[in-house]
Chains A and B, each alone.
Chain A
């Protein structure tokens, strides 16, 4: 079955450490997105990519980095520059057509220890 897979489900990061969250989709979607969600809050856009080898900053890109070397993959790195990284991270993909919504992965819950 087609879908979007995020791993790991839970991730613990030490202070000053970089960590990478994986996002893979087999839906043949062109566009991919990363969101952050804090408890009781809405979704905030970190980065998005409409096509391979191209990506743009969202509303809260500071302290994060991404790459889009393959259509299927859009990994997110949370760097040590991100001072408050504890959150629920959601990856999504879409066909890039406004008629369709996004498909989300099941998320990665990141905690700083």
Chain B
């Protein structure tokens, strides 16, 4: 089983739609969680951290479910510019700051 698993997609949605991605992680001791965005042929960029109580940043909402060991990302009112690959990233409690990256979920927003 992979440490961090994501549905690779692609998720094809129309502009204005709401879309959600889930990500599961295997290490129950994980303590830090992030969503990164990666555009085609570019570097990953931090989209948002994921906090235990859940958090929102504009149209983006991240949730953490420790009992089931998954995190989610909800995008409301999708824009064409949201088309990208979204990487789920999980970090341990110790061992410095070694993060484990999921394989990514590709989102394509259509006009």
B interface residues, tally (CB under 8 Å): 24
In the bound complex, what is the Cα–Cα distance between A31 and B97 (angstroms)? 8
* CA gap between A71 and B71 in the complex, in Å: 34
Q: Tell me whether B98 is interfacial, beta carbon within 8 Å.
A: yes
In the complex, whether B49 has a CB less than 8 A from a CB of chain A is yes
1/0 contact string of B80-107 vs chain A (CB within 8 Å): 0000000101011100111101111000
State whether B43 touches A105 (Cβ < 8 A): yes
Number of residues on chain A facing chain B (CB within 8 A) = 23
A52–B36 CA distance with the chains assembled, in angstroms: 27
Q: Is the CB of A98 within 8 A of B93?
A: yes
- Partner-A contacts on B (CB < 8 A): 31-32, 34, 36, 41-46, 49, 87, 89, 91-93, 96-99, 101-104
Q: Is the CB of A100 within 8 A of B104?
A: no
Q: Which of A13-21, A40-48, A62-70, A74-82 lines the interface with chain B?
A: A40-48
Q: Looking at the assembled complex, report how far the CB atom of A31 sits from the nearest CB atom of chain B, in whole angstroms.
A: 6
CB pair B34–A101 under 8 Å, yes or no, is: yes
- 24 example contacts (A-B, Cβ-Cβ < 8 A) are as follows A31-B96, A31-B97, A42-B87, A42-B104, A50-B96, A90-B43, A94-B99, A95-B97, A96-B96, A96-B97, A98-B31, A98-B91, A98-B92, A98-B93, A101-B34, A101-B99, A102-B46, A102-B97, A103-B46, A104-B43, A105-B43, A106-B42, A106-B43, A107-B42
A53 beta carbon closer than 8 Å to chain B:
no
Q: Which residue of A lies closest to B102 (CB)?
A: A42
Binding site for B on A (CB under 8 A): 31, 41-43, 48, 50, 88, 90, 94-107, 109
**Which chain B positions have C-beta within 8 A of A105?**
43
Closest to A51 in B: B96
Asked whether B32 lies within 8 Å of A99 as measured between CB atoms, the reply is yes
Q: Which single member of A94, A97, A104 contacts B45 (CB below 8 Å)? A: A104
Q: Decide: A98 near B32, CB < 8 A? Known: A31-B97, A42-B101, A42-B104.
A: yes
